[in-house]
Amino acid sequence: MEKQFVWLNNDLIPVSQARVPVNDRGFLYGDGLFETLRADDARVHFLSEHLERLAASARAFRLPFPENIPWQERLAQLLAANGLSRGSARVKILLTRGVAPGLGLPKECRPTLVIYAQPYTPPSPEEYAAGWPVAVFPEGRSTFVGCHKSLNYLFYLAARQFALDQGAKEALILEADGLVSEGAATSLIYLHQGRYYLPASASALSGVTVTVLGRGLAARGLTLETRRTTVAQLKASGGLWLANSLMGLMPVAAVNGAPLPVSAATAFLQEVLADMS
C-alpha cells in the first residue's frame, strides 16, 4: 500500500509518524471540531464555507483558530502526497484544544491541527437513482453542541448504527420535542406543494451543502425556507433528500419502511448544486 501522508500542525508527515499525545483534549473530552470536505481532481469544494464554519465554532468554544495557514497550498500538497490529485477524495480538518489542564474551555492551550485525505468513492448512479431508506432514531437530541461540527459524534454514530440495524442507510434525528432536525451525517431538504424546505431546528448543524444549494435556488428565483417539520410531513412530502459535502444530494426512498416516491426534482437539485461548486 502507498504511504499515507497527513498534516500534523505544520508538518506533512507519513501517517505512521503522526503522533498526538494521549492527553490531547480531543481524545479526553471530544474538545475539538472538524470539517469534512470533498475534493475532485484536487479541487476542494466550498473551502471558504467550511473554514468559516470551523472558525465560527472555534470562536463559540474559545478555541484559538490557527492563523496564517495557507489552506489552499496545504490541501494541494496533501492531495498530491497521497496520490489524490486525480479522482475524488475525502478531506478532513480536525482542530482540538490540544493539551491543557482544567475543565471549562481554557484559552491557554496549543491546539492540534490535523488534515488528512483519503480516496472517496461516491454512491453509484444506481444508488442515487433508487434513493436511500432512512429510519427515525427514537432518542431526541436538543443541545447547542449540535449546531457545531464538534468531535462529540457518539450520538450520531449510535443513530447511524440504529438505522443500519433496521436495514436503512441513514438515521433521521429528532429534537427533544419530536420535531425533525436533520440526518445523522446529513442535512434534510424536502418538497411540499412545489416549494423546498429545510426542517427548522435549534440544534441542527448549518450544512454547507444546503446553504450553497439555497443560494443556487435563490439565483433561479426559488426559495429554500425553514419550517417546523414532523415525521408525518416528511412521509407525505413530494420528495425528501439527504445532503452533505461528500455525497451531495441523495433522495430518500423510504422512511421507517414506508416508501416515498423518489422525486423527479433530484436531477434539478443536483444540477443546481453542481453549478455552485
- Which residues contact ligand PLP (rule: CB under 6 A)? 36, 156, 182, 185-187, 205, 207-209, 243-245
Helix (H) or strand (E) holding 252: strand 248-255
Q: Say if CB 112 and CB 20 are below 8 A apart.
A: yes
Q: Which is nearer to ligand PLP, 79 or 208 (CB)?
A: 208
239-244 vs 248-255, strand pairing mode: antiparallel
Least distance to ligand PLP, CB of residue 133, Å? 18
Least distance to ligand PLP, CB of residue 70, Å? 23
Q: Which is nearer to ligand PLP, 31 or 99 (CB)?
A: 31
Residues 148, 159: Cα–Cα separation, whole Å: 17
Least distance to ligand PLP, CB of residue 110, Å? 27
Least distance to ligand PLP, CB of residue 184, Å? 6
- Reading the block at residue 137, the C-alpha cell is 432514531
Q: Which is nearer to ligand PLP, 81 or 205 (CB)?
A: 205
Least distance to ligand PLP, CB of residue 193, Å? 25
Give just the sign of the alpha carbon dihedral 221, 245, 174, 52.
negative
Residues 8, 26: Cα–Cα separation, whole Å: 14
Q: Which is nearer to ligand PLP, 81 or 179 (CB)?
A: 179
Q: Which is nearer to ligand PLP, 156 or 197 (CB)?
A: 156
Please enumerate in sequence order all residues whose Cβ is within 8 A of that of 254, keeping only pairs 6 or more positions apart, or say none. Answer: 131, 133, 134, 168, 260
* 76 HSE (CA, 13 A, CB side): 6
